[in-house]
Structure 1
Amino acid sequence: MTTPALPPYVEMNGRPATAEDLRVPAFAGFGHFTAFQVRDREVRGLGLHLDRLDAANRELFGVPLDAERVRALVGHALDGAGVRDASVRVHGYLPPDHPETAVMVTVGAPAHLSAAPQSLMSVPFARALPQVKRPGEFGQAYYRRRARSSGFDEALLTAPGGVVAEGAITNVGFWDGTSVVWPDAPLLTGVTMTLLEDGLARTGRPTVRRPVTLEGLVAYRAAFVSNSQGIAPVHRIDDTSFAVDEVLMKDLDRAYGDAPRAGV
C-alpha cells in the first residue's frame, strides 16, 4: 500500500497563498530558491540553506534576507500543513514596487533519492550564474527530460571541451582511488556536497576539486551523485561504466548521516 502524496501547501510571507500571491511567481518569477528535506522538524545543513538564500537575495536584489525570518516562515508553513516530515522549498522574489523580499514556502511529501545505481547522459549545457539556484531553469529541465527519454536517470551538464560541471538536479563526484574529486567548473555548490566535504574531512578521507572531462572519465574508479534528497552511486556516464564502490558509498552515507541538523 502506498502513502498518498501530500498536496503542495503554499504560504506567502507567513499566510496561506492566495491567487493574487501566486501571480508573483507566475508573472514576475525572477527569483531564487533552496530545497531541503525535513525529518521530525529538523533539517541537515539548515545554516547552509539560509546562507544560500541570503547570498542569492543580495546577488539578485541587493538586499539581505534575514535567516530568522526565513526559519520562522518555514516553521509556520509546516504547522499550517500539519506535518513533521516534508519536502520544503523556500523561494525569494521581489515583486514590482515592493520594498521587501516576498518569501514563498512550499511544503510537499517527503522525498528520497533512489539508492539504485544511476546512469547519466552528458549534454552540452552550462547554467548562467550557476551559484544562484533559480526556479524554472528551462535548459536543465529540457536536458533532463531528454536524458530520461533516452533511458538515462539524469543529465550531466558539460561546458565546451567536454568539461564536466554538475547534474541537472545533482552534484556529481568521482573517486580516483585516493580522493573524492569534485569537478572544478562553474556549478552550484550543493548543500549536500558541502556536508559531504565536511564529513569526509572529519574521517580523514581527502576531497579535492580539479577539472574533470568526459574524455578523462576512464581514470576514475567510481562516481556518485548527491542532492538534498540523498546520495546514489553512478554506474554509467554515456558509454563509460563504473563499478559501485561499496566502501566509498558507506563512507558517504556515514558522512551525510552525521551532518548537523537544526530545528524549524
Structure 2
Amino acid sequence: MVEVKPVLGGATAWGGYGGGMTTRPQNAPAAPAPHIEFDGRPATEEDLRIPALHGFGHFTALQVRGGAARGLGAHLDRLDAANRELFGRPLGGDRVRELIRHALAGAGRADASVRVNAYLPPGAAETVLMVAVREPAALPAAARSLMSVPYARPAPHIKRPGEFGQTYYGMLAGRAGFDEALLTLPSGAVTEGATTNVGFWDGASVVWPDAPALTGTTMTLLDRGLDRAGRPSVRRPVTLEGPDGVGRFRAAFVCNSQGIAPVQRIDATPFTVDEELMRELRAAYGAAPADAV
C-alpha cells in the first residue's frame, strides 16, 4: 500500500459526472453547467437547499445515448432498493423515467450524462428527485494507475452523494500521479475503486474481489454478457499481497457507467494490458440492450 501523505497545491479532484472521478488539470476549461430539475421543474434556490442542508440520500448515474441507456432496469432497481432501505418507501421506475425524459428535453439533449438523486427532507410527503443532465462522458481509453488507500465505505451497497472519503483519497491519488484510489480493508483486502468496480483476469475467468462493495450497473451487465458468452465471472478474495495478491493476476480493469478501462499498475505492481480481454469485455457490455428512458 502506498503511504498516503497530504500534499498542498497541485491538481484538485473533481466529481467526474456520471459517477466517475478524475484529477482535473488546473488549466482545464470549466465544464458547462448542468441542467437541474427537481420533480420535473427547473431547480429553484429553495430546491437547492435540499442537497445543501439535507444531504442524506442516494443516487444513480447513467449515460444516455439517443435517449436510451444500457442497464436502465438495473439503475431503476438500485434507486428503488435504496429508497426502501433509507426511506421505507418504494420509488417507482415509471416516475423516474418520466423525470429523466423531462430533464433531457429541458436540457435539449439526447446524448447526456444523467444523475438522479433521491432525498427525503424533513416534512416531505414523498421522495424528492433531483435530475441533473450534463454533457456525455466516457472513461479515458488509456490504461489507468491505481493507488491503494486504507478506506472502505460504510454501507457500500448504497450509492450515495457526499462521499468525503472517496473524494479525499481520490484527490491524494491524483496528486501522487495516479488516476484513481483503490479502496482496501485493514486486512489488505481489495474492495473497489473510489468510483469504479475493479476486476482481475487470471487467464481463465474474470475475478471480482469478494469483499463489501457497490455492485455497479456496468459490472452487472458484464456479468450477464460473460455468462451468455460461456465465460462466467467468479468472486474470490483479492489482497494487495500474499497468495491472493494482485500480482498473481495477468491483467486488471476498472468499470463504471462511463465505460471500461484497463489497469496498468496498482501501486508498484505493473499489469500488461490484455487487448483480447478488453475486446471481450467491451463486446459483453456492448451486447446489453439500450432501453429507452
**With structure 2 as the length reference, what TM-score do the two structures score?**
0.88
- Aligned counterpart, 1:101: 127
CA contact (8 A) 1:12 1:105 kept: yes
Match for 1:19 among 27, 42, 45? 45
Match for 1:240 among 269, 278, 291? 269
CA distance in 1, matches of 2:132, 2:260: 23
Alignment of 1:197-216 (within 5 A): 197-215=223-241, 216=245
**With structure 1 as the length reference, what TM-score do the two structures score?**
0.98
What SS does the aligned partner of 1:157 have? Answer: strand
Alignment of 1:210-229 (within 5 A): 210-215=236-241, 216-229=245-258
CA distance in 1, matches of 2:161, 2:124: 20
Which amino acid in 2 is paired with 1:9?
Answer: H
Mean CA deviation greater in 4-13 or 17-26:
4-13
- Aligned counterpart, 2:284: 255
1:7 is displaced (CA, Å) by 2.1
Structure 1 residues 155-206: Cα deviation after superposition (integer angstroms, max 9, x where no partner)? 0000011100000000000000111000000000000000001001111112
1:4 is displaced (CA, Å) by 8.8
Match for 1:64 among 66, 77, 90? 90
CA distance in 2, matches of 1:151, 1:111: 22
Which amino acid in 1 is paired with 2:176?
Answer: S
- Aligned counterpart, 2:152: 126
Return structure 1 stretches of 4+ with deviation > 3 angstroms.
Answer: 3-6
CA distance in 2, matches of 1:206, 1:60: 32
Q: How many residues in Structure 1 have an aligned counterpart in Structure 2? A: 263
Structure 1 residues 198 and 65, CA gap change in structure 2 (3 angstroms): same
Match for 1:231 among 254, 260, 278? 260
What SS does the aligned partner of 1:110 have? Answer: coil
Structure 1: give runs of 5+ residues left out of the alignment. none
Percent identity among equivalent residues? 68
Match for 1:78 among 85, 99, 104? 104
Q: Is the aligned partner of 1:165 residue 2:185?
A: no
1:78 is displaced (CA, Å) by 0.3
- Aligned counterpart, 1:40: 66
Match for 1:146 among 172, 184, 187? 172
1:5 is displaced (CA, Å) by 4.5
